[in-house]
Amino acid sequence: MAREQNMTKKAVVLGIDIGGTTSSFGFVEQDGTCFAETTIPTRPREPAEYLVTSLCKRAREAFAPFAAGHELKGIGIGAPNANYYTGIVQRPINLDWDEEVPLAELFHSQFGLPVAVTNDANAAALGEMKYGAARGMRNFISITLGTGLGSGIVVNGEIVYGSDGFAGELGHTVVDPAGRMCSCGKRGCLETYVSAPGLCRTAFSLLAERTEESVLRAFSFQALTAKDVFTAACNKDCLALEAFAVTGRILGVKLADAVAHTSPEAFIFHGGLAASGDLLLVAAKRSMEENLLSIYRGRIPLLLSGLQGLNAGVLGAGALIWNEIKL
Amino acid sequence: MAREQNMTKKAVVLGIDIGGTTSSFGFVEQDGTCFAETTIPTRPREPAEYLVTSLCKRAREAFAPFAAGHELKGIGIGAPNANYYTGIVQRPINLDWDEEVPLAELFHSQFGLPVAVTNDANAAALGEMKYGAARGMRNFISITLGTGLGSGIVVNGEIVYGSDGFAGELGHTVVDPAGRMCSCGKRGCLETYVSAPGLCRTAFSLLAERTEESVLRAFSFQALTAKDVFTAACNKDCLALEAFAVTGRILGVKLADAVAHTSPEAFIFHGGLAASGDLLLVAAKRSMEENLLSIYRGRIPLLLSGLQGLNAGVLGAGALIWNEIKL
């Protein structure tokens, strides 16, 4: 009887999305049904072990009411600078963790289950492929526009990890080698132009160059957010509109470059800035088309995430481990 | 007896390299031993069928003396704009062929053997992976510097063909959207700066901007070749040296972008301009390193082809079909 009951249990995985300020988890069935979603503060100044212990404790508590009907099969984790090959998080920029944290090992020792990790942008791509806008696609690029520009490149149905697990960093491709300072230490990286802070920097640059009236002239650099620029643009503020147009043009050129590398079927956009939609993407599409070889033109859509309103990070982490385990 | 003799025959493939002015073929054993290499004029103004008929006839003649000891197992072809997925050559720039030529089908109907086609740059990458400088590598990028800039991207041991078979066109990534006119119809493509003609254009631009003496001041634009710039640079002509330095810097920035896409173990260079070696590659390496994220720095060598002195195009085409057939 006990055995029979066990056989009818539904397989489920734990998807964990670790961010710089909050971390989320949820239990993800193979069809993408997600339950017991929970968000906890990351406490970035504490060592990694603190977060791992909290997550494990809270996940066990959240799973308890479902344990009779579900069997946990594995754990997928999306985290900044997490390396799929090694299971290690290396020097995450916004977390005061050790230089190298063996995240997969830490979770494996707690649960004794298969664990896979990857960076948050790759997890987002996997989520789109399994549950979102990229279902059925074998070649696409997912781009997350938030405080930075993250990307996941899919070729032949698989994330491109490259020789070291660190492929797919389009946010640090070069717009201008002598351009804006980037938090990575380089200059002119794409994400210094195309990201929420990048949009604000462009707005400030336009405020300096132009003389038109703009509501943005009332903001300090510290106070201005991408949301403010978005609101101003929706109200037809011409400098805010121009800030989006400039951002879109730069994005489009680098999308064209990405096409020349891996020739995707589509780009899929996530994140706060992507939610500004046409304001950004119409200019990006025009600029991409202008910079594409004719063989690629007119067939690569810029799509919004198919996981809006859902916890894309948790679903992506779930998709990651679903791809690894055999039932 | 006849059967026994047949069983001792050595397996061999026909590798064909179709170029804008000449085409070559040779018979390639699995270990890369190549025999009966032959070069014929391409006659680019004739229809494709003319070249196919000539190549088939000449290949049969060349194979005849070896037929007793060898069995032909397949045909690999590298050709401009050849699409691996469809077997079709689409609008090759330097050939007056029909819009679409079903190259794989034409050869299959002649020999009744497996045929695979790809563009010449991808064939070069496959040749390096099987017989050259990329043996043992699973992730690398091969770059051919000649009249254009061709590239083949290898991820997880396989050429990246993308959604349409046309991935890996790094020569048409964007250096400057308002930059030099390219034969593809766009502006500012990498190959307008980094290629044999690109080097000459940069030399002419420097002649206009600078006032230093230079032997290059005696050349017409028509007359100047990359070889002349190379010779002048070897003789310490400062403008020729600067032309190489500028070319290398631009190349390095785009190599850094390519690393951020697919994180290769190495870049491997072919072609006439690559033969200028350190003159170009020292500046390229420095500029690449300056534009790389720290996680990638110091570990990606710029290597010269491991097939120098050999017919890399024929070996690459041979490698292409060797990867497809089962013995």
At residue A94, the pLDDT reads 76
pTM metric for this prediction:
0.93
B262 with A162: Cβ contact below 8 A: yes
At residue A309, the pLDDT reads 78
pLDDT cut 90: percent of chain A above it: 87
At residue B1, the pLDDT reads 43
Minimal C-alpha gap between B61 and chain A (Å): 38
Instruction: Suggest the residue from A293, A294, A303 to mutate for an interface test with chain B (most B CBs closer than 10 A).
Output: A293
Cα separation, B274 vs B284, in Å, equals 11
Partner residues linked to A155 by β-bridges: A158
Q: How confident is the model at residue A1 (pLDDT cuts 50, 70, 90)?
A: very low
Size of interface A-B (CB pairs under 8 A): 132
Residues of A with CB below 8 A from B164's CB? 263, 295-296
Cα separation, A122 vs A160, in Å, equals 9
Minimal C-alpha gap between B218 and chain A (Å): 34
**Residue B119 near residue B82, CB atoms below 8 Å:** yes
Q: What is the pLDDT of residues A186-223, one digit of tens each?
A: 999 999 999 999 999 999 999 999 999 999 999 999 99
B interface toward A at CB cutoff 8 Å? 90, 138-140, 153, 155-156, 158, 160-170, 172-174, 177, 184-186, 253, 256-258, 260-265, 287, 290-296, 299
Cα separation, B130 vs B134, in Å, equals 7
Q: Which tokens go with B52?
A: 């196919």
Closest Cβ–Cβ partner in B140, B172, B296 for A260: B172
Minimal C-alpha gap between B293 and chain A (Å): 7
Residue of A nearest to B265 (CA): A163
The DSSP-derived string for B31-74 is: TS-EEEEEEEE--TTS-HHHHHHHHHHHHHHHHGGGTTTEEEEE
B264 with A294: Cβ contact below 8 A: no
Closest Cβ–Cβ partner in B160, B184, B294 for A155: B160
| Cα A128 off chain centre by | 11
Q: What is the pLDDT of residues A8-47, one digit of tens each?
A: 899 999 999 998 889 999 999 999 999 999 999 999 899 9
Name the residue among A98, A158, A103 with its Cα closest to residue A126.
A158
**In the predicted structure, residue A256 carries a pLDDT above the cut 70:** yes
Instruction: Suggest the residue from A262, A265, A299 to mutate for an interface test with chain B (most B CBs closer than 10 A).
Output: A262
Cα separation, A25 vs A15, in Å, equals 5
pLDDT (average), residues B6-32: 92
Name the residue among A185, A33, A262, A30 with its Cα closest to residue B156.
A262
Would you say the ipTM is above 0.90?
Answer: yes
The DSSP-derived string for B176-195 is: -TTS-B-TTS-BSBGGGTSS
Q: How confident is the model at residue B317 (pLDDT cuts 50, 70, 90)?
A: very high
At residue A6, the pLDDT reads 53
Query: Which SS3 state, helix, strand or coil, does residue A276 take?
Result: helix
**In the predicted structure, residue B8 carries a pLDDT above the cut 90:** no
What is chain A's mean pLDDT, rounded? 94
Minimal C-alpha gap between A155 and chain B (Å): 7
Cα separation, A119 vs A126, in Å, equals 11
Strand segments, DSSP code E, in chain A are 10-18, 22-28, 34-41, 70-78, 89-90, 100-101, 115-118, 140-145, 149-155, 158-159, 267-270, 302-304
Cα separation, A175 vs B46, in Å, equals 43
Q: How many C-beta neighbours within 10 Å does residue B168 have?
A: 27
Closest Cβ–Cβ partner in A163, A164, A262 for B162: A262
Q: What is the pLDDT of residues B212-236, one digit of tens each?
A: 999 999 999 999 999 999 999 999 9
Cα separation, A248 vs B101, in Å, equals 38
Q: What is the pLDDT of residues A266-305, one digit of tens each?
A: 999 998 888 898 999 999 999 999 999 999 999 999 999 9
Cα separation, B282 vs B271, in Å, equals 17
Strand segments, DSSP code E, in B266-325 are 266-270, 302-304
Q: What is the pLDDT of residues B113-138, one digit of tens each?
A: 999 999 999 999 999 999 999 999 99
Closest Cβ–Cβ partner in B162, B169, B172 for A139: B162
Cα separation, B142 vs B303, in Å, equals 9
For A181, how many CA atoms within 13 A lie in the half-sphere containing its CB? 2
At residue A93, the pLDDT reads 74
